[in-house]
Amino acid sequence: MRGGELVVNEALKTRALPEGSYDKLLEFLRLYRDAVQIIVDRIWGIDEKLSKKKLHRLFYSDLMRLGFRAHHAKEIYINAKSLMDSARGNSGRKPVLRKLSARIDKYDYKLDLDSMTLTLKLHNDYEAKLKLVSPRERVEKFRSWSNYELVVKYEDGEFWVSIYFKRIVKLLKPRTVMAIDLNFDNVTLTVFTLDDKLIRLKRFKTPLRKILTHKIWIERIQKRYPKSWRFIKGVRKAIERHGKRIKNISWDYAHKTGNTIAKLAFKHNSVIILEDLEKLKENNKKEDKEFNKKLGLWFYRRIQFCIEYEAMERNLQVAKIDPRGTSSKCPRCGGKLVEDGYRILRCRKCGFIGDRDVTATINIYKKYKYISKHSRCGVPGVAPNAPKPDENPSGMQGNKNEAMTTES
Ligand SMILES: [Zn+2]
C-alpha cells in the first residue's frame, strides 16, 4: 500500500458587497449574459463538433470588439457551448438566459483573503471592488489552497460569488486498515494491522429507528389526508416538521460520526474501507424492492459522504469494495453463515461464531486485502472526491451549470 496524490476541489460561496457604485458591474453582467446568448443563438443550428479552437476563431474578435478581455472571451464561448450541449441533451430546446451570472477566469480577478476583498476586471478596463461577507473561520481553511476561477451573480438585489479552490492532497501511506460496516442499527468499525491483527473495535448506534418513527408519522398523516395534505396549511406544516427533524437528526449524526471515524483513522494511520453503496443497491435489487426505503440507503450515503470528507481533510485514503457476501460468508472458510441467536452468526462448515456486524467488517477487511494484493495499481477504488474529468467548471459538460440557469 502506498500514498498518492489527489486533487480536491471545493467552492466558497459568499455574498459580496460592492464598494462604491456597481453600475459598471451590472453592465458587465448584462453584457456577458447577452454575449453568451448571442453565441448560443449562432451555434444552435450548427451540427458539427465545435472545438475550442473553432469557437475561438468564430467569436474571439467579436467579443474583443464588445470590450471584453481575452479570458472573458474564452469563458463566454465555452459557457455558450456547454449550455448548448446540455440543452440538447435535456429538453432539446434552445436555452434562453435570464439570470445575471458570469464565470471569471483567475487572470481577471484579484482575491485578497486578508482584507476579504475581490477585484474584478471588467469590460473596457473597468474594475469593480467587492467586499466578501463571510465569517473568517470559513475562509481560513482556503488560505493554503489555490483558486482558479469564480462565478459572480446578481440575484434579488444582491451580489454573490462562488470561488473555486483546489489543493493537492498528498495521501498518507497507511499502516493499518479500518473496515466499516453500515447497517440499520449500527455503524461498526474495526482496525486491523497489515498482518491481520484486530487492534480496535468500535460501534455507534444509528438513529435510524428514531428517523423511522418520524417517517411513519409522515406516512400516517398523508394517509389520513391522501389528497389534501399539500393544501391544508396545518397538515403540511406538521409534515414539514417531521421532515426537518429527519434531516437534522441524520446530518447531525453523519457529521459527528464522520468526524469521530476520521479522527480514529488518523490516529491509527488507516486506509478507510467502505462498502460500495452502488453495488449494494445492485445486489439487493431483486431481493428487496423496499430496500432503499426501509434501510435508508440515503442515510448510509450521507454518513459515507461525511467520512470521506473528513478523511480527505486529514490526507487519509479511502477505498470502496463490493459488499456482496460480506454479511453472509464465513471469514474463515468461506462457508455460508447462519443466524445463531441475536445478531450472532455461525458457520455450519467450520464452526466459526461471530457477532454479525464485526464479522461483516472482517469480511470487508479481507476483501480489501485480497483486492489490493491482486490489483496492479495497489489501491482499489477511486479516492472519493477525485474530480471526474468533466468536473472542471470551465469544461462543464452536461452537468448542472450553477453559473447559468436557463429557461426555455
Ligand atoms: Zn467457516
| Percent helix, percent strand, percent coil in the chain, to nearest 5 | 45, 25, 30
pLDDT at 402: 32
Distance from the alpha carbon of residue 345 to the mean position of ligand 1, in angstroms: 10
Residue 158 CA, ligand 1 centroid: distance in Å: 65
Cα–Cα distance for residue pair 30/19, rounded to 1 Å: 19
For residue 335, how far is its CA from the centre of ligand 1 (angstroms)? Answer: 5
* 245 CA → ligand 1 middle, Å: 43
Distance 283 CA to ligand 1 centre (A): 22
In this prediction, residue 284 carries a pLDDT of 60
Quote the CA–CA distance of 339 and 357 in Å, as a whole number. 12
**294 CA distance to ligand 1 middle (Å):** 30
Ligand 1 centre to CA of 358 (Å) is: 15
What is the reported pLDDT for 90? 80
pLDDT of residue 378: 46
Ligand 1 center from residue 65 Cα (angstroms): 76
Cα 180 to ligand 1 centroid, rounded to whole Å: 21
Q: How far apart are CA 2 and CA 172, in angstroms?
A: 8
Judge whether 261 and 308 are in contact, CB under 8 Å. no
Sign for the CA dihedral angle at 323, 327, 332, 335 comes to negative
Predicted local distance difference test score (pLDDT) of residue 136: 87
Q: How far is the CA of 268 from the centre of ligand 1 (A)?
A: 29
Give the C-alpha separation, 214 to 18, whole Å.
Answer: 45
The Cα 292–Cα 137 span in angstroms is: 37
Q: Using the mean position of ligand 1's atoms as its centre, give its distance from the Cα of residue 276 in Å.
A: 25
Distance 373 CA to ligand 1 centre (A): 22
- What spacing in Å lies between the alpha carbon of 286 and ligand 1's midpoint? 26
Distance 329 CA to ligand 1 centre (A): 8
Cβ-contact 22, 159 below 8 angstroms? yes
Distance set, CA 258 to CA 132, 191, 302, 358 (Å) = 30, 16, 9, 19
76's enclosing H/E stretch is: helix 70-89
Q: Are the beta carbons of 381 and 389 closer than 8 angstroms?
A: no
Distance 363 CA to ligand 1 centre (A): 12
One digit per residue, the tens of pLDDT, for the chain of length 408 reads 456 788 888 999 999 999 999 999 999 999 999 999 999 999 988 877 889 999 999 999 999 999 999 999 999 999 999 999 888 888 788 899 999 999 999 999 999 999 999 999 999 999 999 999 999 888 998 998 999 999 999 999 999 999 999 998 888 899 999 999 998 889 999 999 999 999 999 999 999 999 989 989 999 998 998 888 888 888 999 999 999 999 999 999 999 999 999 999 999 999 999 999 888 766 665 444 555 555 578 899 999 999 999 999 999 999 999 999 998 999 999 999 999 989 999 999 999 999 999 999 999 999 999 988 876 554 444 444 443 333 333 333 333 333 333 333
